[in-house]
Amino acid sequence: MIPGELVLPFREDARRREAFEQCVAAHRQRVLRTAYRLLGDLTDAQDAAQEVFLRLFKQLDRIEGDPQAWLYRVTVNVSHDHLRRRRPAREATPEAAGDWPDPAPGPFRILELEERKRLLMEALAKLTERERAAVVLRDIEGLATREVPQIMDVEEVTVRSQISIARLKLAKYVRARM
> Are the C-beta atoms of 45 and 36 separated by less than 8 Å?
yes
CA max distance for the chain: 74
Residue 105 confidence (pLDDT): 61
* Three-state SS letters, the chain: CCCCCCCHHHHHHHHHHHHHHHHHHHHHHHHHHHHHHHHCCHHHHHHHHHHHHHHHHHHHHHCCCCHHHHHHHHHHHHHHHHHHHCCCCCCCCCCHHHHCCCCCCCHHHHHHHHHHHHHHHHHHHCCCHHHHHHHHHHHHCCCCCCHHHHHHCCCHHHHHHHHHHHHHHHHHHHHHHC
> Are the C-beta atoms of 48 and 75 separated by less than 8 Å?
yes
Residue 95 confidence (pLDDT): 46
Residue 88 confidence (pLDDT): 53
Helix axes 67-85, 42-59, angle to 10 degrees: 130
Consecutive 10-residue averages of pLDDT for the chain (178 residues): 42 75 89 91 91 88 81 91 70 48 64 84 92 93 90 92 93 87
Residue 58 confidence (pLDDT): 86
Residue 99 confidence (pLDDT): 53
Residue 178 confidence (pLDDT): 75
Collect contacts of 18-26 with beta carbons under 8 A, ≥24 apart: 19/60, 20/56, 20/57, 20/60, 23/56, 23/60, 23/67, 23/71, 24/53, 24/56
What is the pTM assigned to this prediction?
Answer: 0.61
Closest C-alpha among 31, 38, 32, 36 to residue 131: 38
Residue 96 confidence (pLDDT): 45
Q: What does each C-alpha distance from 133 to 13, 79, 160 come to in angstroms?
A: 34, 9, 12
